[in-house]
Amino acid sequence: MTRVVVGMSGGVDSSVAAALLKEQGYDVIGIMLRLWSEPPVIGDDGVELVAENKCCSLESVNDARRVAAALDIPFYVINVEQPFQRTIVDFFFDEYAAGRTPNPCLRCNRHIRFTLLLERALALGAEYLATGHYARVDDDPATGQRRLRQGVDAAKDQSYMLHVLSQNQLRHALFPLGEYTKPQVRALAAERGLPVATKAESQEICFVAANDYRGFMRRYAETTGRAAPRPGPILDAAGKQVGQHQGLAYYTVGQRKGLGVTAREPLHVLRLDPAQNAVVVGSAAELARDAFTVRQTTWTSDSAPSAPFTAQVKLRYKAPLVGATITPLAEGRAEVRLDAPARAITPGQAAVFYGGAEGDEALGGGLIE
């Protein structure tokens, strides 16, 4: 019997993934990762903020344990707090401090779930690591390589979050929900009597208390000795100071609200300038760009293309696909030229490239410079 470890979170998606695999005859083991969370903190109103990591709160652990008991599968919790803090939390803080807008889930999927958890799964004799992501994997009939493809539910597709996986990681990956929609998954959970069938899902950053990332930046600087975000000038596109910001980390490209600057037309953040510790603002029209570069590119085939190629590009997790020409450059970089200008292209976010025979294959991507 083929063994599979399911990364369980206590939510409906990973619970249904475990249930489906058990029904398909796999030897299923459920594992939850205990991730780093802030120490208890007191909010500005004097009320203690709940700081436990939402991905592994006591409630989530109990829910996952109840599901595992209902499915009659073993369940374990593994502590990875220290590597999670070093690899994910420090990166999150440092990227914001450098004027970029990070997506910590991308990094977590690559370095925590599909590295640390996969290593534990293989050590337990498992052939696969499964998660509740809405994506699909299969073998390319032409090359035999493993492909990462979009899930059938366009509203829930999470291939964007998984494009950082290598061939080795994809060979050991299973995504049982890739052929289902979210309503179908909830129905499957209800049909099986799973106790999490109606549980709400969180869209927040798992380790940030009360979804207050600005407060997190201040607190993390204090507890780790890092430099806290500091005020600086707000400049217009011509370099004239029109206001003062509270710290680069508290702003992102495209932001309109909370600038504290009055003007004849609404102003948006055009870019963040770490060298001057400045926020540069301008009109909505000035946000549009049709070319940019990415760094730290990854390719699901494990090798970068040798020549320019055309693809569809997603600039944020929920952004629509846009046509583009991608030109690989040296040192893990690439140039992206869009077929039409797009707004609020944000440094630190990932640009993910799609193509392949069916057009739904995540080919790779990189972090926007």
- 3-class state of residue 339 by DSSP: strand
User: Is there a contact between 221 and 266 (Cβ–Cβ < 8 Å)?
Assistant: no
Q: Which two tokens stand for residue 244?
A: 């003062």
Distance from C-alpha of 272 to C-alpha of 101, rounded to nearest angstrom? 10
Distance from C-alpha of 156 to C-alpha of 363, rounded to nearest angstrom? 19
Helix (H) or strand (E) holding 69: helix 58-71
Distance from C-alpha of 81 to C-alpha of 48, rounded to nearest angstrom? 22
Of 155, 157, 172, give the one whose Cα is nearest residue 7.
Answer: 172
Q: What distances in angstroms separate CA 49 from CA 34, 206, 316, 322, one per listed residue?
A: 19, 14, 29, 40
Distance from C-alpha of 342 to C-alpha of 291, rounded to nearest angstrom? 9
Distance from C-alpha of 237 to C-alpha of 279, rounded to nearest angstrom? 10
Could you tell me how far CA 231 lies from the centroid of its own chain? Answer: 28
User: Burial code of 126-159, b = ≥16 C-beta within 10 A, e = fewer?
Assistant: bebbbbbbbbbbeeeeeeeebbbbbbbbeebbbb
- 3-class state of residue 368 by DSSP: strand
Distance from C-alpha of 23 to C-alpha of 39, rounded to nearest angstrom? 40
Is 56 among the catalytic positions? Answer: no
- Provide the CB-side half-sphere exposure for 291 (13 A, CA): 4
> Catalytic pick from 55, 56, 105, 108?
108
Q: Which two tokens stand for residue 84?
A: 């999670």
Is 105 among the catalytic positions? Answer: no
Q: Which residues are marked as active site?
A: 108, 206
